[in-house]
Structure formats: structure tokens, C-alpha cells
Amino acid sequence: MGHRLNPGPNHSQTPGAQAAGRVAIVGGGWAGLAAGVELAAAGVPVVVFEAARSLGGRARSVDRADGSRLDNGQHILLGAYSETLRLMQRVGADPERLLHRQALDLRYPGSASAAPFRLHLPRLPAPLHLAVGLLAAEGLTFADRLAAVRFMRSLQTRAWTLPADESVAALLEREGQGKRGSRLRRRLWEPLCLSALNTPACEASAQVFVNVLRDSLGGTRAATDLLLPAADLGRIFPEPAAAFIAAHRGEVRVSTRVSSIEVDDSSGAFIVRSTAAGAADAGGAHAAAGDDGGGERFAQIIVATAAPAAARLLAPWPAIAAPFSALTHAPIGTLYLGYPPDVRLPFPMLGLDGEGGGAAALAGQPADQTPLGQWVFDRGQLCATPGVLSFVLSGSGAWEAFDAAALGQRLQRELETALGERLPPPLWRQLISERRATFDCLPGMARPACRTAQHGLWLAGDFVCAGYPATLEGAVRSGVAAARAILTD
Ligand SMILES: Cc1cc2nc3c(=O)[nH]c(=O)nc-3n(C[C@H](O)[C@H](O)[C@H](O)COP(=O)(O)OP(=O)(O)OC[C@H]3O[C@@H](n4cnc5c(N)ncnc54)[C@H](O)[C@@H]3O)c2cc1C
């Protein structure tokens, strides 16, 4: 088998756990690990299979040659991520230490063509903090600010439920938030939509966007806080979660790819076959071997991979996989530029003028002048790695045509323009492109439930969490839901 975190001492089982039997979890991303923690805490023996050599899936740490660590993508959590925060605490990962909590503060420094913008929510009780924040937003006209407050009030009055799903752009237009390109949309709603759903407003599901607004801007004051990772992602949840599982009778096997799942018709048990994966990457000590070909038997199984891998593994059950086998996906790029340690941004997180949104965003602008950068983070202020800046490029767009060197030059220029000062040349750069970062969050998307038609076969993963976009919280909630369903079944 792959690199195992070995089972710890025996722990007492709840009655639900005794009935559950031994459970296989395919995928060591945040969904699979959340399911593993929840089951292990109840005393269920679990085995988590992870094909990659490190845990965390689409939210993982990446080792650099010099021994330092980056993330595969800059992640932002919100105060509203209640299940993620609960499970972090459960596994001994202290959110207060590992996440940098700050009141929502969206800043665009402005450019030759656009005035500076700032939305800052003051530390007042909800919903006052939102009303005051919106009414005081810098860089919007008074009419824009009132329109934004009215929009939030109107959604709240309708209990955050739209009569029918549509695109975010259509909703914004109908709700008096201006036309495409208007300042209110460009500075506030469209960047929020792209950051939260990784789908441009012209395509994104209005209902899912409204759900995000309900749980963030429309929630308590603490729910609107930004929680920016103050450590690499592996330490925030995946690694402590794996240690917790191992200490509670479970096993976590990295570099171990599940190649097939079958049911033994006579017993109803699942036969899980696995193979070594990424053994070369894993290094000699942790090389994976897979099983001996005969497979291992489990009473139940949670498939907690991204949708395309789940569809492949569930080929024996085409009806289960059908609703999500056709999901389409969008990329996210993160470019890290490493500067001398004294390079520091005026704020930990800064908005840039790139709109994302693919070809539509380019309309009317020559490609070589289209701004590309959307957000830049100062990881020196956040993660104690002075001089390291991460630029986020959400969704399909012109950035995909660039290599790291060319992208670095463009983004450095854009940042210099935004700051009004020159930066030294970067000492190093690293571009991480996740081609299938998130599923396209489109209007009226069908989402599978965690329970499937095959008894004992469960689904988890961000795409399973109805009403949420592809987020850490959606992934964690789906894992918790699958585990709780097993415990109460
Ligand atoms: C660059 C980037 C930036 C993001 N930014 C944010 C953000 O700011 N805030 C936010 O909330 N969310 C963000 N997200 C989304 C978030 O990371 C994902 O929604 C979440 O991590 C999905 O978790 P998951 O467990 O559902 O799936 P995954 O992370 O995809 O986990 C599935 C795991 O299954 C494994 N696997 C697949 N097939 C097999 C197999 N056959 N056998 C064994 N293992 C297998 C994979 O290797 C993977 O580790 C971002 C995503 C990316 C890529």
C-alpha cells in the first residue's frame, strides 16, 4: 500500500459506528478528509485512499526545491465557513492561529481610467455593519451605494430565494445594479461573483450567488470576515485531519489510486482495488505498492473525488454518475513572484483591474492592453514569507496564453501602475495553473445528493453540496453530510 499513517489506539464506538462497518473513502481532499474525521471521531474504522503524494486535493501545499512551501492556489476562507472552522478545531488546528481574520476590506487602488474603490465593513452588529459599509463605500456614487443597499434588502425580504434561476448578470440588471461595465458592477458585484463562483457574472448561477451573499454579506458580522491563510494549506486542515484519523483507528494512504470499485453481490460488500500512484514522486521511503490485485473489502464507501474522477470510478453505476459526468470546469491560475524581503504591499490583499470572464472581458480592448491581474496577496504579511506576492487569475481568460515569465512581467507592470511605484525585478517566479479548479456554477445545475441508489455507496465533494459553489466549505459540508448519513442510516 502507499504511505500509511498508521492506526492509533482503539477508541469506543457509537452504536451508529458499529452498524457502519469499515468504510473506504476515495479522495484525500477536504471533502474526503472531512468525512474521515467525522467518521473516525464516532469510532468508525476508515481508510482514506489518496492518489497524489500529498493530501488536500485542490487545496494543498506544494513543496519548492529550496524546502519552502507554497499553496497550489491562494485560498480565501470566510467567517461563514462554519463547518470548516468546526472541523479545524476538532482536529486541533487552531483557526485563530492558522487564519488571519480581518473585517471585509475590498480595495482597488485606482488607475488612470478608474478612481480608487474601497468597501470596508466596520465592526458593528449585523446588519448595521453592511448598511454602513455599503453607504460609506469609496469610489461609488451615492446612487450606486443606495442601489447596493436596496439590492441586499430586496434579497433578504425574499428570503434569499429567487423565483427561477438565471445568470448573475440578468439578476443585477433587473435589480437596478447597472449594466455590464458600470462601476457598481465592475468594482463590487462582478469581482465578488468571479471570486466566489469562479464563473463570470454573465454565465454564473444567480441563485448560488444569492446563497453566497446570504451566508456572507447577509450573515452575522463575523460571517463577513475574511479569513486569509496564515500558514500553508496543508497545515490548516489536511495534515492535522490525517493525523486525527490515524489516531482514531483510521488509515490514510497517499500515493494510492483506487482503480476500481465493485460490489460482491452475495455479501453486499464493496471490493476496492488500488494501485501505486506517483511512487516516483513519493520518494523511496514512501513508495506506493497498491493492493495485490484482489482488492480489499469494505462495508461502505464514500467517493470523494472531483466530478470527472467520480464519474470514471462509478462507471458500473451509469445512472448515479449521469447527473455530474457532463459538468464543465474552469481554471484558476496563481502566479507567485518572490521579491527581496523588504517588498511589501500597503495591504495584505489588493484588487487589480483584470476582470477575468474570458473572451467577453476582452471585447473592445486590444489583447496586449487588457489587464490580467484580479487580486494580489502579500504572503509576507499573511504567512510570514516576506517578499512573496501571489496573483490570482480566476476563470478562463487571456492569462491562459502566457507563460510564467511573460505573465510575471505583465502583472508586475499592473501592480506598479496600481501602486504608483516601481518594484525591483522578482528573484523567482512560479505559475501554478489548475485547469479544472472548479466546476462551472451555471443556472439550474442539477447537483447529486450524498446518498446514491446503491446501498452503502455515498458521494462527497464540492459538487455534491447543493446550493454552494466549488469551495472549501462546500467540500467540507458534503463530507460531513455523507458521514452523518452513514452514522444514522
Ligand atoms: C487555485 C484554486 C483556488 C481556489 N480558491 C478557493 C478559495 O479561495 N476559497 C474556497 O473556498 N475554495 C477555493 N477553491 C475551491 C476549493 O479548493 C475546492 O472546492 C475544494 O478543495 C474541493 O475539495 P474536494 O475534496 O471536493 O475535491 P478535491 O480537492 O479535488 O479532492 C479530491 C481528491 O481525490 C483524489 N483522487 C481522485 N481520483 C482518485 C482515485 N481514483 N483514487 C484516490 N484518490 C483520488 C485527488 O487526487 C484529490 O486529492 C479553489 C480551488 C483552486 C484549484
The pLDDT, as a whole number, for residue 112 is: 67
The pLDDT, as a whole number, for residue 19 is: 82
For the cut 80, the answer to whether the pLDDT of residue 355 exceeds it is no
327-344 core/surface letters (b: 16 or more CB in 10 A; e: else): bebbbbbbbbbbbeeebe
Q: Name the residue with the closest Cα to ligand 1, atom 4.
A: 75
The pLDDT, as a whole number, for residue 211 is: 96
Of the ranges 7-21, 52-66, 216-230, 397-411, which one carries the lowest mean pLDDT score? 7-21
| Atom of ligand 1 at shortest range from CA of 473 | 11
Contact 461 CB / ligand 1 (< 6 Å): yes
What is the tens place of the pLDDT at every residue in 129-171? 999 999 999 999 999 999 999 999 999 999 999 999 999 999 9
8 A C-beta contact, residue 485 and residue 477: no
Q: What is the mean pLDDT of residues 430-439?
A: 96
For the cut 90, the answer to whether the pLDDT of residue 403 exceeds it is yes
Contact 471 CB / ligand 1 (< 6 Å): yes
Give the span between the Cα atoms of 95 and 83, in whole angstroms: 12
The pLDDT, as a whole number, for residue 11 is: 58
Q: Which of 225, 228, 471, 480 to mutate to test the pocket of ligand 1 (most atoms within 8 A of CB)?
A: 471
* Greater model confidence, 10 or 409: 409
| Atom of ligand 1 at shortest range from CA of 58 | 29
Distance 73 CA to ligand 1 centre (A): 11
The pLDDT, as a whole number, for residue 293 is: 73
The pLDDT, as a whole number, for residue 461 is: 98
Contact 257 CB / ligand 1 (< 6 Å): yes
* Greater model confidence, 263 or 291: 263
Q: Name the residue with the closest Cα to ligand 1, atom 18.
A: 471
Q: Measured in whole angstroms, how far is the alpha carbon of residue 48 from the centre of its chain?
A: 20
Q: What is the mean pLDDT of residues 337-364?
A: 76
Distance 234 CA to ligand 1 centre (A): 12
Of the ranges 296-305, 362-371, 393-402, which one carries the lowest mean pLDDT score? 362-371
8 A C-beta contact, residue 47 and residue 250: yes
In which band, very low, low, confident or very high, does the pLDDT at 367 lie, cut at 50, 70 and 90? Answer: low
The pLDDT, as a whole number, for residue 429 is: 97
Contact 303 CB / ligand 1 (< 6 Å): no
In which band, very low, low, confident or very high, does the pLDDT at 109 lie, cut at 50, 70 and 90? Answer: confident
| Atom of ligand 1 at shortest range from CA of 469 | 19
Q: Name the residue with the closest Cα to ligand 1, atom 37.
A: 305
8 A C-beta contact, residue 470 and residue 463: yes
Of the ranges 126-140, 155-169, 230-244, 273-287, which one carries the lowest mean pLDDT score? 273-287
The pLDDT, as a whole number, for residue 115 is: 81
The pLDDT, as a whole number, for residue 127 is: 87
The pLDDT, as a whole number, for residue 286 is: 38
The pLDDT, as a whole number, for residue 359 is: 36
| Atom of ligand 1 at shortest range from CA of 257 | 42
Distance 54 CA to ligand 1 centre (A): 12
Contact 472 CB / ligand 1 (< 6 Å): yes
Distance 57 CA to ligand 1 centre (A): 4
The pLDDT, as a whole number, for residue 1 is: 41
Distance 129 CA to ligand 1 centre (A): 33
What is the tens place of the pLDDT at every residue in 291-303? 767 899 999 999 9
| Atom of ligand 1 at shortest range from CA of 195 | 8
* Greater model confidence, 278 or 481: 481
Residue 195: name the closest of 402, 408, 437, 446 by CA.
437
Give the span between the Cα atoms of 451 and 22, in whole angstroms: 17
For the cut 90, the answer to whether the pLDDT of residue 243 exceeds it is yes
What is the tens place of the pLDDT at every residue in 86-106? 999 999 999 999 999 999 999
In which band, very low, low, confident or very high, does the pLDDT at 478 lie, cut at 50, 70 and 90? Answer: very high
Distance 59 CA to ligand 1 centre (A): 6
Distance 85 CA to ligand 1 centre (A): 17
CA neighbours closer than 13 Å in the CB half-sphere of residue 197: 30
Degrees, nearest 5: CA angle 154-446-175? 20
Residue 194: name the closest of 407, 358, 77, 362 by CA.
358
For the cut 90, the answer to whether the pLDDT of residue 390 exceeds it is yes
Give the span between the Cα atoms of 214 and 198, in whole angstroms: 18
In which band, very low, low, confident or very high, does the pLDDT at 18 lie, cut at 50, 70 and 90? Answer: confident
The pLDDT, as a whole number, for residue 277 is: 81
DSSP sequence for 322-380:
HHHHT--EEEEEEEEEE--TT---SSSEEE-S---STHHHHTTS-GGGS----EEEEHH
Contact 309 CB / ligand 1 (< 6 Å): yes
Distance 291 CA to ligand 1 centre (A): 25
Mean pLDDT of the chain: 90
> Which residue reads 439550474 in cell numbers?
444
In which band, very low, low, confident or very high, does the pLDDT at 16 lie, cut at 50, 70 and 90? Answer: confident
DSSP-derived pairing of the beta strands 270-276 and 256-263: antiparallel
Give the span between the Cα atoms of 452 and 70, in whole angstroms: 37
Q: What is the mean pLDDT of residues 456-467?
A: 95
Distance 152 CA to ligand 1 centre (A): 31
Compute how many other C-beta atoms are within 10 angstroms of the C-beta atom of residue 124: 14
Contact 52 CB / ligand 1 (< 6 Å): yes
Contact 75 CB / ligand 1 (< 6 Å): yes
Give the span between the Cα atoms of 351 and 153, in whole angstroms: 26
Distance 329 CA to ligand 1 centre (A): 12
